[in-house]
Structure 1
Amino acid sequence: MLKSERLKNILQIVNTQKFVTVDELAQALKVSDMTIRRDLNELHKANKILRVHGGAQQLTDQSRIEKSYQQKREIHIKEKIEVAKRACNLIHENDSIYVGPGTTLELMVANLKVKHLRIVTNSLPVFEAAKNNLNDYDLIMVGGSYRRISGAFLGALANSELETMSFSVGFVGVNGVKDASMTTANLEEGQTEEVGLDRSQIKFVVADYTKLDHSDFHEFYDLRKVDGLITNHGIEPELEKHYSQFTTIYK
């Protein structure tokens, strides 16, 4: 079977079934898993499918619309909890941490077990999750222009506040990581996260596997400048090898 015909068949199967695994495609088309992964990556880059862990799903108009933080709380919950708990292990007593907006970061601060921390955030949902943690943390909410869809405060006021602070560790989320590009949906939100990372001695990006090999509107940071990418332990070997070129993988 010619490659062009195989790609056409894969696209038809994905659009018919909505979601399909690598194994299912390999069996249907009688080719290797490696060949299917390469084909899926090519179709993903051409913006014809959405590449996800273990397979692919149909790309719809809804896939291109930024979801609110309330909507994001309902998807990939198991994967986010795994990443959040892994991130918790990188925080130590008496650290002063910056935490950007993101549902995985909400889960991270909710699951923190260390007793003494200073937490600075520009995310109202993260602040609420930290406030509800049983430990009595020193919490600082950074003000600014409120972006309702993400629950984040941003802009010149938020940036100027963050620029006066220093952090032991900084954590940010992303809408996508493509090669060395860390991306988000909003330019101003990305700029505020950039300031938070720049003011942190140690820098981490948290991203479950669905964010890898995917990009959004605004590139706000270079993966090579962070100390680690915290993701799921089941990350595909190809992706792990690829992103290990840019930073340390924590899984």
Structure 2
Amino acid sequence: MLKSERLRNILQAVKMQKFVTVDELAKALDVSNMTIRRDLNELSDSGKISRIHGGAQLVTDQARGEKSYKQKREIHGKEKIEIAKRACNLIHERDSIYVGPGTTLELLVAHLKVKHLRIITNSLPVFEAAKNNMNDYDLILVGGSYRRISGAFVGALANNELQTMSFSVGFVGVNGIKDTALTTANLEEGQTESIGLDHSQMKFVVADYSKLNQSDFHKFYDLRKVDGLITNREVKPDVEKHYSQFTTVYK
């Protein structure tokens, strides 16, 4: 099979299945895994697919439009500070907390007042914000493949590290919440966040009102499995009532 034909077949498979693995493609096209990885890298470099650990996923309109963490810092700043301060009240002395990537979560660790904490994160911006907090916290930055657009470390290395840990409290951000679905733009980032939540005794999602009734490409967690949704006072009463069916709403 010619390379050009192979690339067309790979692209068609990704479009049909949304996500495919290297092993699946290698078996279907009767070539080596190394050949498939080279093909996926070529398609990713041309912007036709999104390359992730172990395979590839479809580049959606949402993924193309994914804002960087620097851009997100400029959006709903007042609301994010309000949410961050509210989340701080759920953290106690000597807790070990998992903090996922997200600009609201950067503000959370920046506003922490408790003196003694262990903070574990796979987000470089969150780590930097925690490092700059006046309190001398025990900080752990989980490594892995670096997503420059979000500042997060993801993939097998990050996941394996998190699976060996346990946390008093876990916090994650989202790109959108639609009914019970917590969603994000990137499958790998969502997988890592879901592990952080699964290993937390108490689980919280932070989201300003603009994220509610919105969805993105990848559902990574069920709202019914978290202990609370932390949002801001501007959320409409009917929206608050809807999400209160699934978890406790803090506003």
2: CA distance, partners of 1:67 / 1:227: 28
> What residue is the counterpart of 2:85 in the other structure?
85
Normalised by the length of structure 2, the TM-score is 0.75
Normalised by the length of structure 1, the TM-score is 0.75
2: CA distance, partners of 1:215 / 1:234: 19
1:118 matched to 2:111: no
User: Gapped runs of 5+ residues in structure 2?
Assistant: 1-60
1: CA distance, partners of 2:193 / 2:64: 22
1:109 matched to 2:109: yes
> What residue is the counterpart of 1:155 in the other structure?
155
Please give the per-residue CA displacement for 1:115-163, whole angstroms capped at 9, x wherever unaligned.
0000000000000000000000000000000000000000000000000
> What residue is the counterpart of 2:141 in the other structure?
141
Whichever residue aligns with residue 186 of structure 1, its letter is N
Percent identical pairs in the alignment equals 83
Please give the per-residue CA displacement for 1:208-240, whole angstroms capped at 9, x wherever unaligned.
001000000000000000000000022100000
2: CA distance, partners of 1:198 / 1:75: 29
1:216 matched to 2:184: no
Whichever residue aligns with residue 178 of structure 1, its letter is K
Please give the per-residue CA displacement for 1:8-65, whole angstroms capped at 9, x wherever unaligned.
xxxxxxxxxxxxxxxxxxxxxxxxxxxxxxxxxxxxxxxxxxxxxxxxxxxxx89971
2: CA distance, partners of 1:124 / 1:81: 19
Whichever residue aligns with residue 214 of structure 1, its letter is Q
Change (3 A) 1:63 1:144: closer
Change (3 A) 1:206 1:62: closer
Whichever residue aligns with residue 112 of structure 1, its letter is L
> What residue is the counterpart of 1:72 in the other structure?
72
> What residue is the counterpart of 2:55 in the other structure?
none
> What residue is the counterpart of 2:197 in the other structure?
197
> What residue is the counterpart of 1:14 in the other structure?
none
1: CA distance, partners of 2:157 / 2:103: 23
2: CA distance, partners of 1:75 / 1:176: 14
2: CA distance, partners of 1:92 / 1:176: 28
Alignment of 1:1-251 (within 5 A): 65-251=65-251
Q: State the aligned residue count.
A: 191
Q: What secondary structure is seen at the aligned counterpart in 1 of 2:112?
A: coil
Whichever residue aligns with residue 82 of structure 2, its letter is E
1: CA distance, partners of 2:63 / 2:73: 16
2: CA distance, partners of 1:87 / 1:73: 18
2: CA distance, partners of 1:197 / 1:213: 22
User: Gapped runs of 5+ residues in structure 1?
Assistant: 1-60
- Which runs of 4 or more aligned residues in structure 1 lie more than 3 Å from their structure 2 counterparts after TM superposition? 61-64
Instruction: Confirm or deny: 8 A CA contact 2:62 2:217 kept in the other structure.
Output: no
Whichever residue aligns with residue 190 of structure 1, its letter is G
